[in-house]
Amino acid sequence: MIAPKAQTQPRPKIVVDPKHDSGAVATMPDKVPSPDRIRERAYELYEGRGREPGREEQDWLRAEQEILKKRR
């Protein structure tokens, strides 16, 4: 039996505009919020606006932003 090749994670591409380079380095957060926690908060947002369908993506992104902001 042939062992499958080890999968490596793709390296993130960081693009810096040399005209606006402030010397700051872009970093990823130490911990990414769990999808379960984001899902809970997104559902709370959905309920808070009267369970109006069609804005699932906005709810998810807002929930993710709120959780990341609290971790800073």
**Per-residue pLDDT tens digits for 17-68:** 666 666 666 666 567 789 999 999 999 999 999 999 999 999 999 999 999 9
48 within domain boundaries: yes
4 within domain boundaries: no
Q: At what angle do helices 35-48 and 56-71 cross, to 10 degrees?
A: 120
Question: Does the predicted TM-score (pTM) go above 0.75?
Answer: no
Total of domains in the chain: 1
* Structural domain boundaries enclosing 65: 32-71
Angle CA(22)–CA(72)–CA(21) in degrees, nearest 5? 10
57 within domain boundaries: yes
21 within domain boundaries: no
User: Which pLDDT score is estimated for 54?
Assistant: 96
51 within domain boundaries: yes
13 within domain boundaries: no
6 within domain boundaries: no
Higher pLDDT, 69 or 20: 69
Q: Where are the alpha helices (DSSP H) in the chain?
A: 35-48, 56-71
19 within domain boundaries: no
Rounded-to-integer distance, Cα 19 and Cα 29, Å: 26
